[in-house]
Chains A and B, each alone.
Chain A
Amino acid sequence: MKRTGIFSMLLISLIVSLAGCGRTETKKADVVIWHWMTDRKKAFNELAKRYQAESGRQVEFKLFAPSEIYSQKVRAATQAGTLPDIYGILGEKKDFAIFVKAGHVLNLNTEMSDNIHEWRNKFFSKALIVNEFEPNNEFGAPAGIYGVPIDVTNIQMLYNKDLFKKAGLDPESPPQTFSEFITAGKKLKKAGTQGLVSGWAETWMIDCLASNFAFNIMGEKKVMRTYAGEVPYTDPDWIRVFSLFKEMADSGVLASGIVSMNNKDAEQNFANGRAAFAFNGSWCVNVYKGMNPDLNYAAMFVPRVSDEYPMLIWGGAGSSFMVNARSENKEKAVEFLKWLTDEKQQAYLAQDTNNLPANKYSLTNISPLLSQFAQTMENTTHPNIWPRHEKSVVIEAFDIGIQSIILGTKTPEEVAREVQEVKEREMAK
């Protein structure tokens, strides 16, 4: 009897424990939003307060950081069926398409088109296009607009004016061509200053600069033909792209340790005046302000290598919000996003967080530095809007190959051959 009693207690505790594994999240707010943007936490909470005061609806922003953890949480939530009303998807367009095809994202085409495209027309076109799937797209996602951009961004170079002066360079005339950039790097090195810092341990930033150069050297069509498998990576133009990294490494314009530097370290180095150049996105304005408010710097366009094709930099929507298509509150969620992307709220976000607003009518009162970034929005491109995409395994071989060139362990020709081998193997699958 005693043993049966003990057993019953064990069984009950087991059942109670297992019951604890179920869903526990209770929603109290009218709209729940998940995001990863630590720098915007305060501003979002302030906007939620203002929205409640205006509409009487309660919006709750839930922050999950860092972004890798956030991404995992969102993926897990798709399987558990616990996605919030509004969330963001981090990753490439193919990742976005997976969510769309799985029915986790609301198609906003109708809302965007209402009243003669009233909502749609508020945004920078390049910000919206990132969130759009054209008919018959390569991902097989149904056509439509699936995201609402809340800011725009682009990635270019920054330079430290004080370090320029110290090295005898003109702080008002940064290098415009690649050869000028190399020459400036040599002068800076001579003056005992590190050159370019960037988060090249996170290989996507290498990929970003390499594709800037590739677009400039061979044009978009040839780059896309390479992705389609029609042009090999052993083509002289691609070897030229790889060689630029060797040239940068050999000239000493790259800061030591750049290949094992994450972007946070790179930002600290630049903000603390330990490096003269940085390759970073427009979000850096806010980051540098936090790290060193007295930093004397300016933005410069990525130095062009050739005059044959335009230099295009990566840019477009910075952060976007998606509405959960299965949410019971999707109408309320859309209403909130319309309010959030109105001029007034966008201007507040831009001023408070030093990010470029997605609403093109909210550009007044932004800082001169942000204006510099805003002026180059027309020269931006982004993998998410390209008609073709390289396979991730090939991108990895490409980026790691460039790291090897910088380290001096492989030549541009060797890397080109290796990347092409990976490409051919992937094409054969």
Chain B
Amino acid sequence: MRLKRSTAENYLFILPAVIIFAIFYIYPFYATFNLGLRAWDGVSPVSQLVGLRNFKEVLFQDRLWWPSMWHATYITLIALTLQNALALALALACDRQIKLGNFYRLIFFIPPVLSEVVVGLVWKWIYNGDYGLLNYWLTNIGLGHLARSWLSNPQTALTCVAVIHSWKGFGWGFIILLAGLQTIPRQLYEAARVDGANSWQRFWHVTIPLMVPVFVLVSILTILGSMQAFVLILTMTGGSPALGCSVPVTRILGSMRASLRFGYACAQGIIFGLILLALSFMQIRISKKMKQA
């Protein structure tokens, strides 16, 4: 009887959390999925049940959906490599006892705390083909032939956006990687040094294996953050030129705002969410295997 009462009390204690989770997570997910099965314009009091038609259209008929997925993947690949390599290099540098270490930590964390809209507008100006700073600098150092309308050129626009996304995001990776590096016991490095390991061997055999969980965390955060990037894209290009910078989130917004297909937008959202979920699970599995190896 006492056990039963204790169990009931425990359930009562988690009840507020369960209610909040149900209201703010489970119900919205259910409502989104339910809307994905319907044709609805966002205003009418009634919606029409269309079954899986919206999902089928997103997956097999929407000629702009998969290119937008590729654009997001491209931004993510740049972020995973360029952004995280930069973050790791700077974290390794700051992990050592260097002069002004705290100052650098502060400086490296400035881009992530800036507003994405402000960053987008500033870089849009820098990239401007007519009066942008980048073209001005290129011309001044004798590389005028490289000057162009960076954000209007389909060959450069997406890369420009991806680079700025990486620049803005590397600070998060830097902080997490630095925190990870500082948890590695210094004795391990001392022991490796005593055993005759050089810097590279210490990095490869001590740092890398112990940092795997941190790399996984940073990679998952990078993938989730980069695949869902859209504020920078909206500010810098609006998805142009010719949808060359469109990403799934801008497509979802377009379905809602331009086409008034709320049900279709929900189906796009569900599919996109499932893709991200699958990617995260895959990454966790890979990291577990790596740790076992």
Contact = CB atoms under 8 A, between A and B. Distances in A.
Interface of A: 3-4, 7, 10-11, 14, 18, 68, 71-72, 75, 78-79, 91, 94-95, 98-99, 101-102, 104, 194, 201-202, 255-262, 274, 392-393, 396, 400, 403-404, 407, 409, 422, 425
- Say what secondary structure dominates the interface of chain A: helix
A258 B45 CA distance: 40
A260 B151 contact: yes
B152 A7 contact: no
B44 A102 contact: yes
B242 A400 contact: yes
Contacts, number: 94
Contacts of B42: 75, 98
Measured as residues with beta carbon below 8 angstroms from the partner, the interface class of chain B is 35 or more
28 contacts: A10-B13, A11-B15, A18-B23, A72-B257, A75-B42, A75-B43, A95-B260, A98-B41, A98-B42, A98-B44, A98-B260, A99-B43, A102-B44, A201-B238, A201-B239, A257-B128, A257-B151, A259-B241, A260-B149, A260-B152, A392-B258, A392-B260, A393-B259, A396-B254, A396-B258, A407-B242, A422-B63, A425-B61
A14 B19 contact: yes
B162 to A, nearest CB: 16
B16 A260 contact: no
Interface of B: 9, 12-13, 15-16, 19-20, 23, 41-45, 61, 63-64, 128-131, 149, 151-154, 157, 237-243, 254, 257-260
Given A68-B257, A274-B131, A407-B154, 11 more contacts: A3-B9, A71-B257, A94-B260, A98-B260, A259-B152, A260-B237, A262-B238, A403-B241, A404-B242, A407-B241, A409-B242
Contacts of B12: 7
A403 to B, nearest CB: 4
Given A98-B43, A396-B258, A409-B154, A14 B20 contact: yes
Closest 3 CB pairs of A and B: A257-B152, A403-B242, A260-B240
Nearest to B41: A98
A400 B240 CA distance: 9
Nearest to B241: A259
Given A71-B257, A98-B41, A102-B45, A202 B149 contact: no
Contacts of B157: 260
Contacts of A403: 240-243
Contact of B16 (A11, A94, A95, A102): A11
Nearest to A269: B130
Contacts of A396: 64, 254, 258-259
A95 to B, nearest CB: 6
Contacts of A202: 238
Contacts of A98: 41-44, 260
Nearest to A399: B242
Contact of A10 (B16, B44, B152): B16
Contacts of B131: 274
Contacts of B259: 392-393, 396
Contact of A256 (B15, B64, B149, B257): B149
A22 to B, nearest CB: 13
Nearest to A393: B259
A68 B258 CA distance: 10
Contacts of A407: 152-154, 241-242
Contacts of A261: 152
A14 B16 contact: yes
Given A94-B260, A101-B44, A7 B13 contact: yes
Nearest to A8: B12
Contacts of B64: 396
Contacts of A274: 130-131
